[in-house]
Chains A and B, each alone.
Chain A
Amino acid sequence: MAGLELLSDQGYRLDGRKATELRKVQARMGVFAQADGSAYLEQGNTKALAVVYGPHEMRGSRSRTLHDRAVINCQYSMATFSTAERKRRPHGDRKSTEMSLHLKQTFEAAVMTQLYPRSQIDIYVKILQSDGGNYSVCVNAATLAVIDAGIPMRDYVCACTVGFVDETPLADLCYAEESGGVSSLALALLPRGGQIALLQMDARLHQDHLETLIDAAMTACKGVSKVLDEVVRQHLQEVSVLTRE
C-alpha cells in the first residue's frame, strides 16, 4: 500500500491544515487545588497535564542542593491509555527519562532559579493522550503550570515541532506525520528575546535546510506564545473576578 500523502498538491496536510498552521490549542490553568501550580493543555489530540510543586526545601538527598539557585526536578510520564496500544510502563523507560532530562534543561533556562537558592521546584507532566509533539505539548503545559505557581520566569517557554516534507516545513506535526518518515525538529523558544531554550533533532537533515526549519519552528513557537498569553490573561481575569467578589 502506498504511504500517506503528507502534503497534497493543493497544499493541505492529512488533517486539512496548511503547512504553517498549528493545531487547535486549548488550555486551562489551575486545575488542581492542592498543587502549587497546575495546567491542562490540549494541542489537537495531544493532551497533557502539568503540575508544579515548589519552590520548597530540598527533599531526598540533600547533596544535590545548589547554593546559588534552585534545583529543577522534572518527571515526564505517559498514561497507559495515552497511545493506541496500551503502554506497559508509564514512566521510567529510556524515552521518558530522556524526555524528563530535556524538560529539566528547558526550564532551567527559563525559570529564574537564582531567586530560590537551596530549594527545589518539582514539575510533573503526564501525557494523557498522545498524538505527536509530546515534548512541545509538555513544555507548553508546564509553562502554564509554572506561571500558575507564581514562579518568576524570564519569559514564556513555548515549544513546537516542525517537520520537513517536499522542501516545505510543516508546523506542529501530528502522530501520523511524525511516523511518516519526516525529519522533525523540536524547538523550545523564549519568544520575546528569541532565545532558544532547547533544540532537539535526531533525524537526518542537510544543514542547508536547517535554517529554514528553525525559522519555521520559531514562527510556530511565537504563535503558541500568543495563545498561552491569552490563556494566562483570561485565567487572571477569571481569578480576579472571583477574588473581587
Chain B
Amino acid sequence: ITRWWRQINTVGCCYFQGSRSCRLLTSTVIMLKSKTFVKKTRSGGVLKIVREHYLRDDIWCGSEVCTECKQESTVLQRDTCIESNLCAYPHYLIPDTNVVLHQIDVLEDPVIRNVIILQTVLQEVRHRSAPVYKRIKDIIHEKEKHFYTFTNEHHRETFIEREPGESANDRNDRAIRVAATWYTQHLKTSESAADGLKVVLLTNDQGNKQKAAESGLLVFKCEEYIKSLIANPELVDRLALTNDEKNEITSSKVLFPEHLPLSRIQAGIKSGSFLQGTFRASRDNYLEATVFVPGEGEDSTEVLLQGLQNLNRAVHQDVVAVQLLPRDHWVAPSSVVLQDEGMAKDENPEEEEEEKAVSVKPTGKVVGIIKRNWRPFCGMLNVSQIKESTRHLFTPADRRIPRIRIETRQASTLAGQRIMVAIDGWPKDSRYPNGHFVRSLGGAGEKDTEEEVLLLEHDVPHQAFSQAVLSFLPKMPWAITPEDMKQRQDLRQLTVCSVDPPGCTDIDDALHCRELDNGNLEVGVHIADVSHFIRPGNALDKEAANRGTTVYLCGKRIDMVPELLSSNLCSLRSNVERLAFSCIWEMNHEAEILKTWFTKSIINSKASLTYAEAQMRIDDTTMNDDITKSLRGLNKLAKILKRRRIENGALTLSSLEVRFHIDSETHDPIDLQTKELMETNSMVEEFMLLANISVAQKIYDEFSECALLRKHPAPPPSNYDILIKAAKSKNVAIHTDSAKALADSLDMATVDSFPYFNTLLRILATRCMMQAVYFCSGMDSDFHHYGLASPIYTHFTSPIRRYSDIIVHRLLAVAIGADSTYPDLMDKHKQSALCNNLNYRHKMAQYAQRASVAFHTQLFFKTRGVLNEEGFVLFVRKNAIIVLIPKFGMEGTVFFDSKDKTAPNLVFDEEGPTLTVEQHTFHIFDKVKVTISLDASNIQHQKIRMALIDPVISGVSVPAEDLEPQSKKSKLDR
C-alpha cells in the first residue's frame, strides 16, 4: 500500500461544540485538518481516502517539572537519574523509529528511564514489527520505566504536513525533530529551566542527525550515547550492529549473490518462476536445506537447496523465494553428516555430489527473503583465539541456525556461559550473520540455565507477568461479594473434596457424590471458575491465550496465569470458599445419567487429598465419614463408567512416566521412579472425562459453529505396521480395524513367560497414535476422539492450566446464560486461529517437558556415574537398536557403527524387523543388558550413551563395568 499525504488544507480555527460531557473541550481550541491519501485496493483500483485530523491544545508534556500543562498525573521524573559523559545535565530521551526497532533490547534495560515515545514512532513501529510493538507497549506500561507517550500527531504545535516531494520517512523524521524541538522549547519556558532539563534525540540516521543538529537539537547516535553512560559497560554489548557503521569484517570478496527486491520476488512468484516457502535447514548438514512449498492438498513440494551460495543467507524458518535449477543440476540429498567447523570456507559443496544418485529431488536456490523469522537464539560463545579480539563467533544450541558473529568486550566472562544472541543482519560479503549479545542465561550445564535454555528453545513464554497483566488481578484481600452470591448456586454445604497428586497447588477440580432422597446418586464435578477472573480481551486474557498452557518441568512450573490466581483464588483448596463452575449429574446406581445440569456455584472443599490418601480412605473399612462415603460412591460409579467406556472401544495405552526424587536443598535429582497409578487416579480421570464429554455436547448443541472441541483422529493403517510386525514376532495377532478391535487384541496379547510384554506393546501402540488437537466445530466435520472412543470431546476440567478450558468455560457460561458473550468468541476464524496457537503451545510444552526429563536424567547419571541396567529392544534400526530401560522409563540408542572403528557386519531385515550383528540377531522385545553413562564431550549437547553388555558380541559389546559410583567414564566404545 502506498500512502502519502497529498494535500492538507486548514479549515480554520473554531470552537468545538460538544455536549456537556465534553466540557473539557469547549475550552480547548481545536483545529481541523484533513488528511488525504491514495490507497490501492486489492482488485487494483485506486482510492482516494480523506480522513479528518484534529489538532488539539490539551495534550500535555507529561513532565513532573512542568507547571504550564494542566495534566493530572505525570510520568517523566524531575530527577532523571541517568548519567552520561556526553550530557552532564538531566535529560529525557527521544528515540527515533529505527532506534526503537533495533535497540529494543537496550531500551528494555532498567537503566534506561524517562524516555519520550512519540506517537509517530509508535505508529511506525506498529507498522513494521508486531513483536517490537508489543515489547515497547509493555515498557510503556511499566511504571518504573517512566516512558511517556506523547501524541505529537494531534498536538497543534507539533503536527506537520508532508511537503511536496517529501517521502513518508522524511516526513516522519521531520515530525520527530519538530516534536523534539517543541519539548526543548517547552521545558525551557517552564520554570523548570532552573533544573536545566533537556531532551536528547537518539537517531542512527546520519542525515536526520545532521538536520537535527542544524536546528539546534541535542542529538546523538544511539551507540555513542549508550557508550557514554557511566557504570553500564555491559549495555554496549546489547547494541545491535547497524549497517551504516561499517564495522563488520569486510572482505573484498562478495560471498553471496544479492537478494532480489520484494517487488521482483512478488512478480516472480506470480509468474511462477519463483516459489515461496519456509526455509528449513538440515540438522545434520549445514550446507543443505529444504524449502517447504505449500500447495493445494497433496501438491506441497519440497525443494532441496545445497551449498552456501544457493542457501544464500537464509536462516531456518525464514520465508524465502526460491528458483528451481535446470533439471540436469538436480541432486539427491546427501547422507553425509557435516557440521560447520568454520574451516570449510572454500570447499565447493557441489563437488561432493558426484555420485549419480537415482533419487534426485527438485533443487533450487534462494533468490530472496520474503520474511525473516529471526528470534534471539540461545547458545555459547566460541572465544576467538586472539586474546584481545572483540569479535567472536557464537554457536547456537539449535544446529540448524548458523553461527553468528558478535562483538563483545566481555568474552572472558561469557565463555562457558549460555548466552542469547540476536541476529542483526547478514551482509553479502560476510560468511556469518552479524548479531549482538542480548543477555547471559548463566553457566552452561547449570540447572537453572539449562532450564531457561530449553524454555527459550521451545518458545515457551516464561517471563514474569508484566505490570499490565498483573493490573487485572483482583485486589487482595479478595472475598466473595454478595452479587456473586446472588448469581451463583450456593453449594457450600456439599461434601466436596479434591484428589490430586502430592504437592499440587493448582487444584482445578473437586468432586462430590451423595445419595438423593429418591435413591439416585448426585455426582458433581466442580471446576475452578477461572473465567470469572479472566475477562475476555484484557491484557491478562491475552497473555493467557498466548501462553496457552501451564508447562510442567521437573521441579518447576511455568504458570499460564499469575500465581495469585493459579495457587490461590482459583485453586479449590480445602476449607475456603471458592467460585466454581459445576457440572452435576443425577445417576442411578448403574451409573446411567438421568439428568445433567451446569451451574456457576460457590463451593467449600472439605478436604484436599492425594491419590494415596483417597485410596487409603476407600480401603479403610473403619472410616465412615461423609468424605469417605462420597469417595466410595464415586469410586463405585467410576469403575462402572470405565468398564462401559472400555467396552465401547476406548484404548488404554501406556507410556512410562518418570518421577524424580529431588533433593530439597540442592534440587538435584536423587532417584527416579516410574509413576504408579492407583484406583483413585482412574476414578478422578473417569469423572473428568464424563464432564468433558457432557460439556462438549452442550456447547456444541448451543454453538454448532464456534464450539471449541478436541479431536483425536484415527491413525492411518500404515502407522500400525511396526506394532503388528512386533507382535507377530511373538506370535500374537493384533487387529487394528477399529479402536475396539485394537483395544481387545491388546488385552489378549500376553505371553506367559514375558509379563512385561503387554506393557511394551501398549507403549508401541501409543507411538502409533496421532496427536489429539483442538479445533473449532465450524471449521471441521470430523469430531471423533479415537483414543476415548467418544463422538465428541473437549477440555473443560483444567482452566487453571489450559487456555482451551477457559474458552470452553466461557462458551458454557453463555450457553446457560451465566455470562455475556463477546464477538471473538463467536467468530470461528478467530477461534480457529486460537486453536492453532493452543495446539502449537501444547506440542511445544510437551517437547519442553520431555527435554526437561532428559536433562534431569543426565543430571542423575552425572552423579551416578556408570550404571548397568536391563532393558528391552523397542525398535530396530539399520545401524542401531533402541533400548527401553523400564526402571528409568528412559530409552536410548545403541549404535553398532561408529566413525573411528570399522563397522561390524550388519544385516538389516525390514520384514522382522531384525538386525543381525555378526552372529547375533536382535528382535524387537529382546531383553538386553546395557551400560549407561553420560557423554559430556560436547557441552551444549550432553547426552546419555548406552553400550551393549549382554548378549556378548565380540568387537561390539563392552565388558560390564564395575560399578564405582563416582567414576566418570565418558569415553566408552560404542
Bound: A174/B51 CA distance, A: 9
Nearest opposing residue in chain B for A209, CB measure: B820
Minimal beta-carbon separation of B554 from chain A (angstroms): 39
Q: How large is the interface on B (under 10, 10 to 19, 20 to 34, 35 or more residues)?
A: 35 or more
Bound: A20/B24 CA distance, A: 11
Bound: A1/B821 CA distance, A: 27
Q: Is A227 on the interface with B (CB-CB < 8 A)? A: yes
Check if A21 sits within 8 Å of B16, measured CB to CB.
yes
Q: Is B165 on the interface with A (CB-CB < 8 A)? A: no
Nearest opposing residue in chain B for A222, CB measure: B19
Bound: A140/B22 CA distance, A: 19
Bound: A16/B52 CA distance, A: 9
Bound: A18/B26 CA distance, A: 13
B17 touches which of A17, A131, A226 (Cβ 8 Å): A226
Find the residue from B17, B50, B826 having the highest chain A CB count within 10 A.
B17
Check if B21 sits within 8 Å of A219, measured CB to CB.
yes
Check if A2 sits within 8 Å of B51, measured CB to CB.
no
With a cutoff of 8 Å between Cβ atoms, the chain A residues found around residue B707 in the complex are: none
Q: Is B942 on the interface with A (CB-CB < 8 A)? A: no
Check if A223 sits within 8 Å of B16, measured CB to CB.
no
Q: Is A235 on the interface with B (CB-CB < 8 A)? A: no
Known: A2-B127, A8-B151. A15 touches B52 (CB 8 A): yes
Q: Beta-carbon contacts of B146-185 to A below 8 Å, as 1s and 0s?
A: 0001010110000000000000000000000000000000
Bound: A222/B21 CA distance, A: 10
With a cutoff of 8 Å between Cβ atoms, the chain B residues found around residue A167 in the complex are: 537
Q: Which of B1-39 contact A (CB under 8 A)?
A: 1, 14, 16-22, 25, 30, 32, 34
Among A22-30, A48-56, A96-104, the stretch that binds chain B is: A22-30
Q: Is B329 on the interface with A (CB-CB < 8 A)? A: no
Bound: A167/B537 CA distance, A: 9
Check if B17 sits within 8 Å of A227, measured CB to CB.
yes
Bound: A17/B19 CA distance, A: 14
Nearest opposing residue in chain A for B23, CB measure: A20
Find the residue from A5, A15, A220 having the highest chain B CB count within 10 A.
A15
B154 touches which of A16, A84, A131, A176 (Cβ 8 Å): A16
Known: A84-B48, A84-B49, A166-B537. A17 touches B149 (CB 8 A): no
Check if B826 sits within 8 Å of A204, measured CB to CB.
yes
Q: Which of A185-217 contact B (CB under 8 A)?
A: 204, 206-209
Q: Is B126 on the interface with A (CB-CB < 8 A)? A: yes
Bound: A12/B119 CA distance, A: 11
Q: Is A90 on the interface with B (CB-CB < 8 A)? A: no
Check if A22 sits within 8 Å of B22, measured CB to CB.
yes
Known: A16-B55, A206-B821. A22 touches B19 (CB 8 A): yes
With a cutoff of 8 Å between Cβ atoms, the chain A residues found around residue B55 in the complex are: 16
Check if A24 sits within 8 Å of B16, measured CB to CB.
yes
Q: Is A85 on the interface with B (CB-CB < 8 A)? A: yes
Q: Beta-carbon contacts of B818-832 to A below 8 Å, as 1s and 0s?
A: 001111001000000
Known: A2-B130, A166-B537, A219-B20. A12 touches B151 (CB 8 A): yes
Q: Is B137 on the interface with A (CB-CB < 8 A)? A: yes
A22 touches which of B18, B56, B119, B153 (Cβ 8 Å): B18
Q: Is B45 on the interface with A (CB-CB < 8 A)? A: yes
Check if A204 sits within 8 Å of B52, measured CB to CB.
no
Q: Is B53 on the interface with A (CB-CB < 8 A)? A: yes
Check if B823 sits within 8 Å of A131, measured CB to CB.
no
Q: Is A44 on the interface with B (CB-CB < 8 A)? A: yes
Q: Is B720 on the interface with A (CB-CB < 8 A)? A: no
With a cutoff of 8 Å between Cβ atoms, the chain B residues found around residue A65 in the complex are: none
Check if A223 sits within 8 Å of B30, measured CB to CB.
no
Q: Which of B798-854 contact A (CB under 8 A)?
A: 820-823, 826
Minimal beta-carbon separation of A215 from chain B (angstroms): 10
Q: Is A105 on the interface with B (CB-CB < 8 A)? A: no
Check if B14 sits within 8 Å of A204, measured CB to CB.
no
A20 touches which of B22, B34, B822, B826 (Cβ 8 Å): B22
Check if B19 sits within 8 Å of A219, measured CB to CB.
yes
B823 touches which of A12, A84, A183 (Cβ 8 Å): A183
Minimal beta-carbon separation of A8 from chain B (angstroms): 7
Bound: A162/B289 CA distance, A: 54
Q: Is A243 on the interface with B (CB-CB < 8 A)? A: no
Q: What's the dominant secondary structure at chain A's contact region?
A: loop
Bound: A25/B52 CA distance, A: 13
Known: A15-B54, A21-B18, A166-B537. A85 touches B47 (CB 8 A): yes
Bound: A167/B153 CA distance, A: 25
With a cutoff of 8 Å between Cβ atoms, the chain A residues found around residue B149 in the complex are: 8-10
Q: Is B140 on the interface with A (CB-CB < 8 A)? A: yes
Minimal beta-carbon separation of B323 from chain A (angstroms): 27
Nearest opposing residue in chain A for B820, CB measure: A206
With a cutoff of 8 Å between Cβ atoms, the chain A residues found around residue B16 in the complex are: 21-22, 24
With a cutoff of 8 Å between Cβ atoms, the chain A residues found around residue B54 in the complex are: 15-17, 24
Check if A15 sits within 8 Å of B53, measured CB to CB.
yes
Check if A131 sits within 8 Å of B50, measured CB to CB.
yes
Find the residue from A17, A176, A204, A230 having the highest chain B CB count within 10 A.
A17
Q: Is A236 on the interface with B (CB-CB < 8 A)? A: no
Bound: A202/B48 CA distance, A: 28
Q: Is A45 on the interface with B (CB-CB < 8 A)? A: yes
Minimal beta-carbon separation of A40 from chain B (angstroms): 16
With a cutoff of 8 Å between Cβ atoms, the chain A residues found around residue B140 in the complex are: 9
With a cutoff of 8 Å between Cβ atoms, the chain A residues found around residue B119 in the complex are: 8, 10
Q: Is A14 on the interface with B (CB-CB < 8 A)? A: yes
Check if A85 sits within 8 Å of B823, measured CB to CB.
no
Bound: A25/B15 CA distance, A: 10
Bound: A227/B820 CA distance, A: 37
Nearest opposing residue in chain B for A5, CB measure: B126
Check if A23 sits within 8 Å of B151, measured CB to CB.
no
Check if A223 sits within 8 Å of B22, measured CB to CB.
yes
Bound: A85/B888 CA distance, A: 70
Find the residue from B18, B127, B137, B821 having the highest chain A CB count within 10 A.
B18
Minimal beta-carbon separation of B55 from chain A (angstroms): 7
Nearest opposing residue in chain A for B34, CB measure: A45
Minimal beta-carbon separation of A212 from chain B (angstroms): 13
Check if B22 sits within 8 Å of A45, measured CB to CB.
no
Minimal beta-carbon separation of B128 from chain A (angstroms): 10
Q: Beta-carbon contacts of A47-73 to B below 8 Å, as 1s and 0s?
A: 000000000000000000000000000
Nearest opposing residue in chain A for B56, CB measure: A16
With a cutoff of 8 Å between Cβ atoms, the chain B residues found around residue A230 in the complex are: 17
Bound: A84/B38 CA distance, A: 10
Minimal beta-carbon separation of A175 from chain B (angstroms): 8
Check if A131 sits within 8 Å of B52, measured CB to CB.
yes
With a cutoff of 8 Å between Cβ atoms, the chain A residues found around residue B19 in the complex are: 20, 22, 219-220, 222-224, 226
5 closest A-B pairs by CB: A223-B19, A16-B154, A206-B820, A16-B54, A84-B47
23 A-B pairs with CB atoms under 8 Å apart are A1-B1, A2-B127, A10-B119, A14-B51, A15-B51, A15-B53, A16-B55, A16-B151, A20-B18, A20-B21, A22-B16, A22-B19, A24-B16, A45-B50, A45-B52, A131-B51, A174-B51, A176-B51, A206-B820, A206-B822, A219-B19, A219-B20, A230-B17
If A15-B53, A25-B17 are given as contacts, then 6 extra A-B residue pairs at C-beta distance below 8 Å, sorted by A number, are A8-B149, A18-B25, A22-B18, A223-B18, A223-B19, A230-B17
